Amino acid sequence: MSELQIDPIQELARTLHDARLAAREIPRITENGPLSIDEAYSVMESGIQLREHDGEQVIAYKMGLTSEAKRRQMGLDQAIFGILTDRMELRSGVPYSLQGRIHPKAEPEIAFRVGRMLDARKNPINADEAWGAVDQVAPAIEVLDSRYVGFKYFSLPDVIADNASSSDYLIGAPVPKPAHWSELEQWKIDFIVNGTVMHQAVASEISGSPIRSLVELTELLARRNQVLPAGSWVLLGAATAAVALEPGMSVELEMQGPSAPSKTRLAVAR
């Protein structure tokens, strides 16, 4: 009798899934053999299926490695995407517990909500078409948490397979949507840690323009024969390097555009 064959993609997804649930560091999965970018996304998608089996629902997406600062910090060289579920969304004003996290880091982002589906499988979507689908703009804070030892020295396939180091996210109150996407590019972003401005940037440091990050997501999804569903939130990527979270820490994103400044705050439980 032949042995039951285990799908290697599903096995890798289960390894990462179990590591996340146990808050346990594991070696890079590519230490056991090479993994292509396409295979890495298949591992990520299998991991999301495991989360869906546990009752989670996909409601958002994230872009990663969109800024030069973040690529330098992680030693990686191209934008990627991850998938976010309802259980990963944080509520404003609720202290954030580090329990169940391995080495969480926070970074400031801008988020778009799309009011209609964006499908780039047959024809590329340009910036104006993408902007026309956006119905909400908001400040956001993403919490990253790699499952790999030390949160460093991993390859692009490693980080993709680990759902782009996704953990949690907080979306702040929406701000008035500018008339044109280019107006958003010079909005200022201050990342404030314990009351002190730790990092400063402008929105154009996200892929050159936040709208480009959204367009890139539609292209990445199209390569997987997927679309961006209507109603999805998209975290467009960090404009600055991430900050390691500690008990009792307060991190705040202040986004300053033509309207009054918009803030969103994440308080870490002691």
Domain positions in the chain: 8-267
- pLDDT value for 77: 57
- pLDDT of 48 reads 98
Report whether CATH 3.40.366.30 matches the domain 8-267.
no
Q: Which two tokens stand for residue 5?
A: 């064959």
Quick one: pLDDT at residue 76?
54
pTM: 0.93
Query: How confident is the chain (270 residues) per 10-residue block, as mean pLDDT?
Result: 68 97 96 94 98 98 77 64 97 93 95 98 97 96 96 88 96 92 93 94 92 96 97 94 94 82 77
Show Cβ contacts of residue 90 under 8 Å, excluding neighbours closer than 6 positions. 96, 143, 168, 169, 170, 266
pLDDT for 241 equals 86
**What element of type H or E holds 235?**
strand 233-238
Q: What is the pLDDT of residue 72?
A: 58
CA Rg, the chain, in Å? 18
According to the model, what pLDDT value does residue 137 have? Answer: 95
Hunting for tokens 């024809």 — which residue is that?
A: 123
| Orientation angle between helical segments 37-53 and 8-22, nearest 10 degrees | 60
Q: Which residue has the tokens 């030693």?
A: 75
C-alpha distances (whole Å) from 11 to each of 43, 112, 167, 168 are 9, 34, 21, 24
